[in-house]
């Protein structure tokens, strides 16, 4: 038996975007077991939402939980608050929410892909992916008025309307993005040097993924067809705007890259359908009611299923708000998928999980 070494990665590490700690036990450079510690950025947001802020202000607070999936958090909270208030929002507001969620998915997936390329040692591809990502940030700025922290969903609807010239620009820009995406898919699929670091690394099979309750692109890359957009129709009409399930079978870093890129084609399709079929109507349903009772909402964030629970007691301040972020569900699967890999490919594997620790620790 070879000697075992314990190698820590994090909480501050060159390949990590956020504080995250992995303790690898390695034998001949091979990882045989892993421990994860994810709660470094706890900010007490749930407690603040239930004490300091009124229920209408909370949608802006939860938008600050995460910079990348800000719109997913605000939308999920708005939906849960609307359930507590027992109101139905206008159809135009639902469509605009879907538009921003999908644009957000484009920029989040491309960021993750570029990060995988960088951690695999492919700086040129990192630059290229970030270059192609920039358009989605500009479109989001044009729609929401800010590059990050969109504050787009509010309780009862959305805060801003989509202007016709911006809508035209979005469609035009998406058309030029499709060939760029084809180019990226070609590189991620066929580049030999990248495949050396990505193919077979961090693999997880379908049964393990199901047993460990893995969600999002991580699960879909392993062949597990889990997507909230496929399951719920009452809050946002995903199938009406052309949602299709994308799955891969391999479950390794390579499969996750390809899955994310293939999902972007679906996102582009959804955005085009939303803009072309945007219904007329009001943006906000006004109400003077106070939240009462309990409600649960699930929403597909770029990283997987986002879960919100809220409890109201007929006052301005909520009694309880619970946020369960997709990365939290994935931690068990993340730890499992390292086993049997080279320590050298750990950085690329971590990036391919797309971990969002601010969401997890809240």
Q: How far is the CB of 104 from other proteins (least distance, A)?
A: 17
Closest CB to other proteins among residues 145, 281: 145
Q: How far is the CB of 221 from other proteins (least distance, A)?
A: 10
Q: Which residues bind other proteins (CB under 8 A)?
A: 30, 53, 56-57, 60-61, 120-125, 127, 131, 134, 138, 141-142, 144-146, 149, 151, 154, 159-160, 163, 166, 187, 190-197, 199-201, 203, 205, 249-252, 255, 340-342, 344-345
Q: How far is the CB of 11 from other proteins (least distance, A)?
A: 26
Closest CB to other proteins among residues 328, 353: 353
Q: How far is the CB of 234 from other proteins (least distance, A)?
A: 27
Q: How far is the CB of 124 from other proteins (least distance, A)?
A: 4
Q: How far is the CB of 224 from other proteins (least distance, A)?
A: 14
Q: Cα(348)–Cα(107) distance, rounded to whole angstroms?
A: 19
Closest CB to other proteins among residues 152, 243: 152
Distance set, CA 142 to CA 71, 169, 254, 305 (Å): 15, 9, 33, 27
Closest CB to other proteins among residues 19, 121: 121
Closest CB to other proteins among residues 111, 201: 201
Closest CB to other proteins among residues 30, 311: 30
């Amino acid at each position: 038996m070879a000697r075992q070494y314990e190698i820590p990665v994090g909480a501050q590490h060159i390949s990590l975007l956020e504080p995250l700690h992995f303790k690898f036990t390695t034998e001949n450079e091979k990882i045989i077991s892993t421990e994860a510690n994810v709660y470094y950025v706890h900010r007490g947001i749930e407690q603040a939402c239930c004490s300091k802020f009124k229920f209408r202000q909370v949608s802006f607070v939860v938008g600050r939980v995460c910079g990348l999936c800000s719109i997913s958090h605000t939308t999920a909270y708005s939906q849960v608050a609307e359930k507590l208030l027992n109101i139905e929002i206008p159809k135009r507001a639902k469509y605009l929410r879907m538009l921003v969620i999908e644009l957000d998915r484009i920029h989040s997936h491309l960021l993750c892909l570029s990060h995988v390329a960088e951690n695999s040692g492919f700086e040129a591809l990192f630059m290229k992916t970030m270059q192609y990502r920039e358009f989605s940030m500009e479109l989001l700025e044009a729609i929401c008025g800010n590059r990050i922290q969109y504050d787009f969903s509010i309780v009862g609807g959305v805060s801003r309307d989509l202007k016709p010239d911006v809508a035209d620009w979005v469609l035009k820009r998406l058309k030029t993005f499709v060939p760029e995406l084809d180019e990226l898919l070609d590189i991620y699929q066929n580049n030999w040097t990248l495949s050396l670091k990505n193919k077979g690394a961090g693999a997880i099979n379908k049964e393990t993924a199901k047993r460990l309750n893995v969600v999002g692109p991580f699960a879909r890359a392993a062949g597990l067809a889990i997507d909230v957009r496929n399951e719920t129709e009452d809050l946002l009409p995903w199938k009406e705007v052309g949602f299709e399930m994308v799955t891969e079978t391999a479950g390794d870093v390579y499969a996750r890259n390809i899955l994310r890129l293939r999902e972007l084609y679906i996102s582009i399709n959804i955005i085009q359908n939303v803009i072309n079929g945007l219904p007329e109507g009001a943006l906000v349903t006004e109400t003077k009611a106070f939240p009462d009772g309990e409600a649960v909402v699930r929403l597909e964030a770029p990283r997987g299923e986002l879960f919100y629970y809220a409890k109201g007691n007929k006052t301005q301040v909520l009694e309880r708000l619970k946020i369960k972020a997709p990365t939290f569900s994935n931690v068990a699967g993340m730890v499992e998928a390292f086993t049997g890999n080279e320590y050298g490919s750990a950085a690329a594997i971590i990036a391919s999980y797309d971990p969002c620790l601010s969401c997890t620790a809240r």
